Amino acid sequence: MELTTAWFIIIAFLWTSYFFLEGFDFGVGMLLPVLGRDDVERRVVINTIGPVWDGNEVWFIVAGAATFAAFPEWYATLFSGFYLPLLAILLALIIRGVAFEYRGKRDDARWRARWDRCIFWGSLVPAFVWGVAFANMVRGVPLDADHEFAGSLGDLLSPYALLGGLTTVTLFLLHGAVFLALKTSGGVRARARRIAGLAAVAAIVAGGGFLLITQLQYGKPVTWLTAAGAAAGLLAAAAANRRGREGWAFVGTGAAIVLAVATLFLSLFPDVLPSTLGTGGLTTANAASSAYTLKIMTWVAAVFTPIVMIYQGWTYWVFRKRIGTSHIPVKKPHVKKPVA
């Protein structure tokens, strides 16, 4: 196997891992104002991802860095042409991270409500824009002969791209609802299961339509299998959720995300960013770094990727138990002592 092909597979793996892990983070954030009826329940919702959300975002950093190092032409064109959407994602992630840290700094309902809104929008915006961005990568964008973006923001907002954004939002909502049902107890768990049932219908309609269009317009024979597997994962997740089998439901949503992303990358290969202007676009061959650079990166990835996976797996094992309102300490009101 050529190193360029190997690194395309590695980058696909990194992005898939990011969407699998950060997907339920986004879903939890979007569901925060819906599932949390009071501050204690909202703290339960946040605490389900509290120990892991920042670790999940590491995969985004690694995926971006690997793209920059292995395919610098792809990275440069992508981040210049998609500048505004990616800036929106970065700002949303920053605001979301700050909200997690600052929400509990003051015992004030309005203070917490403001940060809760930041968590909601900081989760919704990336969930939607990532779908738009990856749909555009598969569809192609206007690239001139120098492989520079020659379009505008409007070129990125085609009906197909917007459907991609709707697909990721509904899929991550389902993923997050199933994760909350798996990680919580009591009223939050029951409501998460009900919302997962509704989200499953939306994800099946939006995701099924998006994958069908992708397959008919850009797909290959092998992607019929991955697209069908993604649809089967959604159906299995919905059925498992109805039976109260949260673990199997989470396996189903996870499989749907993995196979849906695999469908996009397999549809794209050997291109990395097609051109809609007939200029050829970027491929794994003309966008890649030198063979020596790829060889060094392969050794680095072989050493450090398993370490990251083992450490993150250990983190999830440590924080594997369910949590409920009984695990949230009640904040005692501050009473001023009388002056003698």
Q: Give the chain's domain count.
A: 1
pLDDT at 330: 67
What span, in angstroms and rounded, lies between the C-alpha atoms of 158 and 153?
Answer: 10
Note if the pTM is more than 0.85: yes
The answer to the question of residue 60 being in a domain is: yes
pLDDT at 1: 64
Is there a cis peptide before residue 306, judged by omega within 30 degrees of 0? Answer: no
pLDDT at 199: 94
What span, in angstroms and rounded, lies between the C-alpha atoms of 101 and 109?
Answer: 16
The answer to the question of residue 199 being in a domain is: yes
- Of 74, 102, 96, 85, nearest in space to 25 by CA: 96
The neighbour count for residue 187, using CB atoms within 10 Å, is 14
Give pairs for 271-275: CB < 8 Å, separation 24+: 272/8, 272/71, 272/74, 272/137, 273/74, 273/77, 273/78, 273/137, 273/140, 273/141, 273/143, 274/138, 274/139, 274/140, 274/141, 275/140, 275/141, 275/142, 275/143, 275/147
pLDDT tens digits along 155-198 = 899 999 999 999 999 999 999 999 999 999 888 999 999 999 99
β-sheet bridge partners, residue 149: 143
Q: What is the CA radius of gyration of the chain?
A: 21
pLDDT at 335: 47
pLDDT at 116: 93
pLDDT at 135: 94
pLDDT at 332: 56
**273 membership: H or E segment, kind and range:** strand 271-273
The answer to the question of residue 322 being in a domain is: yes
pLDDT at 223: 93
Determine the straight-line distance between the first and last CA of the chain, rounded to whole angstroms. Answer: 81
Print the domain residue range for 103: 3-327
Tokens for 78, please give them: 């992508």
Tokens for 253, please give them: 């949503």
What span, in angstroms and rounded, lies between the C-alpha atoms of 248 and 236?
Answer: 8
The answer to the question of residue 269 being in a domain is: yes
pLDDT tens digits along 6-25 = 999 999 999 999 999 999 99
The answer to the question of residue 265 being in a domain is: yes
Positions in the chain short of pLDDT 70: 1, 330-340
What span, in angstroms and rounded, lies between the C-alpha atoms of 81 and 207?
Answer: 26
Q: Given its phi and psi angles, is residue 48 left (phi above 0), alpha (psi -120 to 50 degrees) or beta?
A: alpha
Helices 53-70 and 3-35: crossing angle in degrees, nearest 10, is: 150
The answer to the question of residue 334 being in a domain is: no
The answer to the question of residue 333 being in a domain is: no
Helical H runs in the chain?
3-35, 39-49, 53-70, 72-81, 83-102, 109-139, 159-183, 186-218, 221-242, 246-268, 291-318
What span, in angstroms and rounded, lies between the C-alpha atoms of 100 and 126?
Answer: 16
DSSP reduced 3-state for 128: helix
DSSP reduced 3-state for 126: helix
What span, in angstroms and rounded, lies between the C-alpha atoms of 287 and 303?
Answer: 25
The answer to the question of residue 332 being in a domain is: no
Give pairs for 158-164: CB < 8 Å, separation 24+: 160/135, 160/210, 160/213, 160/217, 161/131, 161/132, 161/135, 161/136, 162/132, 163/135, 163/206, 163/209, 163/210, 163/213, 164/131, 164/132, 164/134, 164/135, 164/136, 164/210
